[in-house]
Structure 1
């Protein structure tokens, strides 16, 4: 699979059910999310501005997209009814047909911009590795069918020696009638 194919298959609105195990806190968390993934044009102003801030030429990128999410968790320390939401721009920079970098305006594990490396396994599984300032995240995404995909993640300490959190998500694309 190429990054272009992966973004095309991911486009749309997804309903996600995620179970996470925060080993550091000895807690399990269930999260229900709505995730919207939409492709952006290379000349989209947000993409152009982000690339300019990173000193990256637009002709090196492929299939930029935006991800927006809204999540409800059963474990919010301050407010059990709190809703987490956000948006970020993701910009792939392919190196080969199956590998590259992914610029993220906002990271998954830490709320900071990040540069991740990605690759695809022979079966089409997308692997994303991100080193943040205080942790390292590895995420895997694979499609079970056209409208069902799975995602797993492992969050490690910045040295990579300890596991902080693991999660598994099943995601179903919302089909418009």
Structure 2
């Protein structure tokens, strides 16, 4: 475990690559979500895996090139894959995404976040911020959507997450996730230049 892992009394702040390294592994997630427009709630669960990718991975390079960015500026790549279900729909729904953080040269704990869904068929550019409390905030914003997620570790194998999404048509959704690690995957040997 990184010496920069959030603990009481720790004054060190991790960077985005260390956060993703700490997130590597197999997870079980329980979700409580609330449709703020219709004032309805639902619960769900999922199994997912977080895999750290080196910045030389072809998926990372392809995603950078799609957005006309030099792949050497990528800090790493992260593949998240899994399946989830809701209380009313027990069928599992598989999906995957790839995240590529690119640091802001003037603010080392902030930067762009390239986000591709389902093998880079659809991708967007968002941003990330690593706070002094070691919580990571991921934001995607465009003319039709504002989505924000905040993730932090309560302990080494317990991660918490909140999300809020608002669409231009007025639909709003908020959710809280409790994520428990089921197994650890060793990060690749080289993630930084």
Q: TM-score range by the shorter chain?
A: 0.7 to 0.9
Tell me how far apart the structure 2 counterparts of residues 104 and 9 of structure 1 sit (CA, whole Å): 19
Tell me how far apart the structure 2 counterparts of residues 81 and 154 of structure 1 sit (CA, whole Å): 24
* Counterpart residue number, 2:149: 139
* Counterpart residue number, 2:117: 106
Of 66-75 and 44-53, more deviation after overlay is shown by 44-53
The Cα offsets for residues 68-124 of structure 1, whole Å up to 9 and x where unpaired, read as: 02101113xxxx2332221111100011321011100129xxx94221111122111
Counterpart among 133, 138, 162 of residue 128 in structure 1: 138
The two structures have a TM-score, normalised by structure 2, of: 0.79
Q: Which has the higher contact order (CA 8 A, sep 6+)?
A: 2
User: CA shift at 1:163, angstroms?
Assistant: 6.5
- Runs of 4+ displaced beyond 6 Å: none
Gaps of 5+ in 2: 1-13, 185-193
- Count of aligned pairs between the two proteins: 167
2:117 is paired with a residue whose SS is coil
User: CA shift at 1:155, angstroms?
Assistant: 1.1
Root mean square deviation, CA, Å: 2.0
* Counterpart residue number, 2:34: 21
1:49 aligns with 2:62: yes
> Conserved in 2, the CA contact under 8 Å of 1:132 and 1:158?
no
User: CA shift at 1:141, angstroms?
Assistant: 0.2
> Conserved in 1, the CA contact under 8 Å of 2:50 and 2:81?
yes
Counterpart among 83, 100, 113 of residue 70 in structure 1: 83
Gaps of 5+ in 1: none
> Conserved in 1, the CA contact under 8 Å of 2:103 and 2:112?
yes
